[in-house]
Amino acid sequence: MTVFRPGRRSGRRRYRPGRLLSRGSRLSMWAGLLIGIGVYVLFGIVPAAGNVIISFTDYTGLPGAPVHNVGFSNYSSMGTTQSAGFTPAVVATVVFVLAVTIAQNALALLLAHRLSGQGRMAAAGRVLVFLPIALGVTIVGLIWILVFDPQQGPAASLFGAVGVHSAFFGASGWAMPLVIFVQVWQNAGFSTLVFIGGLRAIDPQIYEAAGIDGIRPWQRLRRITFPLLAPAVTANVLLAVVGAFTTYNLIYVLTDGQYGTQTLGMLAFNAAFGSFQANLGYGAAVTVVLFVLTLIVALPLMALLRYRERRLLGTS
Amino acid sequence: MRKTSLLSASLAAAVTLAAGACSSGGSAGGGGATTLKIITWVNPPAVSAINAIDAEFHKKYPNITVKLQTAVNVNGPYETLLQQTVDSGGADIVTSVTQLQPLPLNPNRNNETPLQFWSTSGAFAPLNGQSFLTDYQPSALAAETYNGKVYGLVSGTYQEGVFYDKQTFAKYHLTVPTTYSQFLAVCQTLKSRGVTPLFTALGNVGPVYMQFLYYEAMIDLWYPHAPGGNLATALEKGTAKWTDPNFIQGMNEEKAVAQYLEPNYTGVPWESMPGDFAKGKGAMLLDGSWDLSAVQQANPSMQVGFFPLPFSNVAADNKPYLADDLTFEVLNSSPNKAAAMKWLQFFSSPSVYAQYVNTTGISSSQNSGTFSGYSAKALGSWFGQGVNRNVFYPVLSPNNGYYDQETYWPYLQLAVVQGSKTPAQAAATYQQDWKAP
């Protein structure tokens, strides 16, 4: 009788998936993996670590300029008059992220519901809603600047017809809502496609069974569609939250962070590369805060959405 | 031993030859051809003018060829090129859009701009003793002077004020206003005829360009009464305060003037401003002279005149805002300093300089000259005249941090103009936030 003893070589070779590959293939696999990790470390981890280090200095980016360790002063100055603009930027960021996440997902869900069919109109609709992403930030920004030109833009005529006159992107009360609108307009197409994927993954037989049981459309949406769409909701909400936190380029094009639209991303850019003052140390500190803030929001949110998925789908 | 010496000599000769071949300019074979390298950014009128000057210079000095290298724009690309060039000595003459002065009150490596650092640390060759310096206005030389040495040549200035459509003024029988009351009367007349009196655009740039109003108000009302004749120094020393009645009066008048701007000017795209004016969207344009070439391009037949935005009822106190523009510096590491000085001498000669001014539209920084370009005609007797921003700019300069104060200086100006703050409230906040550097 042969007794199996762990750790001791038996006569038979243990099953290892890697052994399915030839030595050359295994080498190629490991080489590819190492190159990938190397690239990620070199262009992802090293700059990120460098950014954290810079946040503790007074680095200006100027060749020859001395760089001093300033400890936590870049962080402790946030919210004081010494580095004004931080607190309003936090408020603007929270408003921007909340509004974009809610509006983008609500709109995308509605669009997905209307465009998930197989017909030509639905296909054309999907292309149309996805188009803004392909246009790119600069084009999208310029389009909406022209639309909301208070002198000769179509929006000025439209609002003017009902007695509303505004400087739009140049008015404190309008600039942030309009920037949110453009961000949603540009990105709703991607969220829509994710939702469409989720909708198509739902087994049609479930709907047929629900139809036989006489379940009403609203109940069908609430009891079947929405729960089964949970993985798509998780992906879309997280992508919208992280995307909104890190947005600065669209705001840069539309308002340059003026008129109440300076989010943390925009503040970091202006602090580090703004024409008035190049303070890479402070700019780096703002990005670190932005990163931490994103983690604080995104990680619990992800846990919550995963929990929701398990609860709704009944999976462990 | 002989072999070693021969080898050493050959090596030394090879290194010398290689060094000669690698240098950006320099004379090849003593008294031979020299390549003078200038760097700047793509600014079509300036590039065109410099290229024309280079060609004429080469005709006069056939052994010197000038090579002009440009970066795509004055911001990031040129800043990078400039830094690389200064670090490597890769050119003979560099250009800049900012000047050495005003230095911060207590200059140090952390509050100086790159250009100020290079100037004060010997990266640029002093121009003292060059005969062409006497051609330039003292203020232009002062802008580039540190410890008695002149480190750059300010090629001209730009001016801010009111550009007006002469045909519209003629149509409504209006004369050029020289006082605040006259200006309001002109605006009122135009408004009563259904014409937008004043046009400007702050879209995409924000209220920092409220400076078309607040710089002029400070120049006309406050600066003439500044203790010691320098508002910046007076504020830094505390002999003048932001709550000064002259400044409060200036803000009150800014608010009155802004009522005659086109509606929603804070959202009108900045880039469209000269074109909008050229299309007749306003009778007067609040802008800088850098936009004149765009106005000319958009409507070549438009007859444009200029006057300083008057905030005082004493006509003599109303002067335009003026700031130094494109400046040439010679690198200290240049092997062709003599050729570089020759080029600056040639550039400064009356006919060549006039050609440069006429082509670029820049206002002259020389003591005299005859200019016939579009800008010279539009600016008329105000061409090159005005109050240099150095008399108050240091206290508003970002290097001194005032833009970063809680109130964001220009935003508070906008709040005053739009009525959400009173001038007295704004003045009190400015004074409260103000920390002399």
Q: Which fold has domain B160-321+399-433?
A: D-Maltodextrin-Binding Protein; domain 2 (3.40.190)
* Nearest CB partner across the interface for B404, out of A166, A259, A277: A277
Residue B264 and residue A171: Cβ atoms within 8 Å? yes
- The pLDDT tens digits for A257-283 are 889 999 999 999 888 876 545 678 889
Query: For residue B399, is pLDDT > 80?
Result: no
- If contacts are CB pairs under 8 Å, which of residues 27-66 in chain A contact chain B? 58, 60, 62-66
Token couple for B49? 């003018």
User: Does residue B228 sit at the A interface (CB-CB below 8 Å)?
Assistant: no
pLDDT in tens, A122-163: 999 999 999 999 998 999 999 999 999 998 899 999 999 999
For A78, which residue in chain B has the nearest alpha carbon?
B406
- Does the structure show a pLDDT above 60 at B312? yes
pTM above 0.90, yes or no: no
Q: So what's the pLDDT on residue B29?
A: 36
Residue B388: the pLDDT is 86
CA triple B191-B196-B200, angle to 5 deg: 135
Question: Which residues, including other chains, have CB under 8 Å from residue A303's CB and lie 6 or more apart?
Answer: none
pLDDT computed for residue A276 by the predictor: 45
H or E segment at B96?
Answer: strand B93-96
Question: Over 90: is that where the pLDDT of B179 sits?
Answer: yes
Residues of A in contact with B403 (CB under 8 A): 276-277
Q: Residue A106 CB: number of other CB atoms within 10 A?
A: 13
Tokens 């009944």 correspond to A314
Q: Nearest residue of B to residue A146 by CA position?
A: B269
B357 lies within 8 A of chain A by CB: no
Please judge whether A169 and B87 are an interchain contact, meaning their C-beta atoms are less than 8 angstroms apart: no
Question: Which range has the worst mean pLDDT, A79-83, B131-135, B341-345?
Answer: A79-83
Q: Would the pLDDT of A105 be above 80?
A: yes
**Cα separation, B235 vs B229, whole angstroms:** 11
Residue partners of B117: CB distance under 8 A and separation at least 6: A62, A64, A65, B109
User: Between vectors from CA B114 to CA B113 and to CA B116, what angle results, nearest 5°?
Assistant: 65
Which of A77, A252, A258 best probes binding to B when mutated, by most B CB atoms within 10 angstroms? Answer: A258
Closest CA to B184 of B45, B274, B310: B310
N-to-C CA span, chain B = 67
Q: Calculate mean pLDDT across residues B138-151.
A: 93
Percentage above 90 pLDDT, chain A: 61
**Mean of all residue pLDDT scores within chain B:** 87
d(CA B219, CA B224) in angstroms, rounded, equals: 7
Q: Among all chains, which residue has been given the structure tokens 């440009």?
A: B70
ipTM at complex level: 0.71
pLDDT tens profile A281-297: 889 999 999 999 999 99
Query: Which of A154-158, A181-185, B103-107, B300-304 bottoms out in mean pLDDT, i.e. has the lowest?
Result: B103-107
Distance CA B302, CA B244 (A): 41
pLDDT of residue B75: 67
pLDDT tens-place string over residues A41-64:
999 999 999 999 999 998 876 656
Task: Please give the structure tokens belonging to residue A283.
Answer: 């700019």
Count of C-beta atoms within a 10 Å radius of residue B79: 19
Indicate if the pLDDT at residue B338 is higher than 90. Answer: yes
Query: Cα–Cα distances in Å, from B46 out to B42, B51, B293, B350?
Result: 8, 8, 12, 17
| Contact: B267, A66; criterion CB under 8 Å | no
Put simply, the answer to whether A60 touches B281 (Cβ < 8 Å) is no
CB contact under 8 A, B262 and A151: yes
* B160-321+399-433 and B31-156+325-369 share a CATH fold: yes
Single-letter code of the amino acid located at A85: G
Alpha-helix residue ranges (DSSP H) falling in B211-349:
211-217, 231-237, 245-258, 273-278, 292-298, 337-348
Share of chain A above pLDDT 70, in %: 89
- N residues, chain A: 316
The answer to whether B27 and B82 have CB atoms below 8 angstroms apart is no
- CATH number for the domain formed by residue range(s) A82-313: 1.10.3720.10
Residue B139: the pLDDT is: 87
Evaluate if residue B17 carries a pLDDT over 50.
no
β-pair partners for B324? B157
Q: What is the mean pLDDT of residues A15-28?
A: 78
Instruction: Report helix, strand or coil for B422.
Output: coil
Residue B220's pLDDT band, with cuts at 50, 70 and 90, is very high
Residue A314: alpha-carbon gap to chain centroid: 28
State whether residue A84 sits within 8 Å of chain B by CB.
yes
From chain B, the residues in CB contact with A165 under 8 A are: 263-264
**pLDDT tens digit string along A113-125?**
899 888 899 999 9
pLDDT digits (tens, 9 = 90+) for B357-375: 999 989 999 999 999 999 9
Which of A263-272, B147-156, B377-386 shows the lowest mean pLDDT across its residues?
A: A263-272
pLDDT for position B433: 79
* Cβ-proximal residues to B74 (8 Å cutoff; 6+ apart), any chain: B41, B43, B97
d(CA B195, CA A301): 56
Quote the CA–CA distance of A61 and B112 in Å, as a whole number.
13
- Assess whether pLDDT exceeds 80 at residue B73: no
Per-residue pLDDT band for B153 (boundaries 50, 70, 90) equals very high
Q: Is A141 on the interface with B (CB under 8 A)?
A: no
Distance CA B223, CA B221 (A): 6
pLDDT tens for B182-209 read 999 999 999 999 999 999 999 878 888 8
How much is the average pLDDT of A157-182?
Answer: 94
For residue B27, pLDDT over 60 is answered with no
List the one residue out of A103, A105, A123, A95 whose CA is nearest residue A190: A105
Give me the pLDDT at residue B342, please: 97
Do residues A129 and A115 make contact, with C-beta atoms less than 8 angstroms apart? yes
Task: State both tokens at A216.
Answer: 């009403």
Report yes or no: B36 and B336 within 8 Å, Cβ to Cβ. Answer: yes
Q: Out of A81, A256, A273, whose CB is closest to B406?
A: A81
Which residues have a Cβ under 8 Å from the Cβ of A226 and sit 6 or more positions away?
Answer: A312
Residue type, A39: V
Mean pLDDT of all residues in B378-407: 75
Of B267, B276, B408, Cβ closest to residue A170: B267
Contact with chain B for residue A145, Cβ under 8 A: yes
**What pLDDT score was predicted for residue B270?**
87
pLDDT of A224 above 50: yes
Q: pLDDT confidence of A198, banded at 50, 70, 90?
A: very high
Average pLDDT, chain A: 88
CB contact under 8 A, B264 and A60: no
- Report pLDDT for A163: 92
Residues of A in contact with B268 (CB under 8 A): 149-151, 167, 170
The pLDDT confidence band at residue B306, using thresholds 50, 70 and 90, is very high
CATH code, residues B31-156+325-369? 3.40.190.10
Nearest of B97, B46, B93 to residue B66 by alpha carbon: B93
- The two three-digit tokens of residue A113, written as one number: 């519901």
Residues 6 or more apart whose Cβ sits within 8 Å of residue B412: B421, B426, B429, B430
DSSP B21-86: HHSSS--SSSSS-EEEEEEEE--HHHHHHHHHHHHHHHHHSTTEEEEEEEES-TTHHHHHHHHHHH
Statement: residue A28 has pLDDT above 80:
yes
Task: Please judge whether A255 and B204 are an interchain contact, meaning their C-beta atoms are less than 8 angstroms apart.
Answer: yes
pLDDT of residue A100: 98
Tell me whether strands B327-330 and B145-146 are parallel, antiparallel or unpaired.
unpaired
Task: With CA atoms as reference, report the closest residue to B272 among B350, B200, B376.
Answer: B200
Whether pLDDT at B437 is above 60: no
The CA distance from A101 to A11, in Å, is: 59
DSSP structure string for B315-361? GGG---EEEE--EEEEBTT-TTHHHHHHHHHHHHSHHHHHHHHHHH-
Taking CA–CA distances from A86, the nearest residue in chain B reads B406
Q: Does A169 touch chain B (CB under 8 A)?
A: yes
| Domain boundary assignment for chain B | 31-156+325-369, 160-321+399-433
Kind of pairing, strands B327-330 and B157-165? Answer: unpaired
By mean pLDDT, which of A46-60, A122-136, A176-190, B30-44 is the weakest?
B30-44
Q: Compare all CA atoms of chain A with the CA of B409 and give the residue at the minimum distance.
A: A84
Q: What is the CA radius of gyration of chain B?
A: 25
Quick check: helix, strand or coil at residue B173? coil
pLDDT class of B400 with cuts at 50, 70, 90: low
Cβ–Cβ below 8 Å for A65 and B117: yes
Pairing of strands B198-199, B327-330: unpaired
pLDDT, mean of residues B255-275: 93
CB B276 within 8 A of CB B268: yes
φ, ψ of residue B95 to 5 degrees: the values are -120, 155
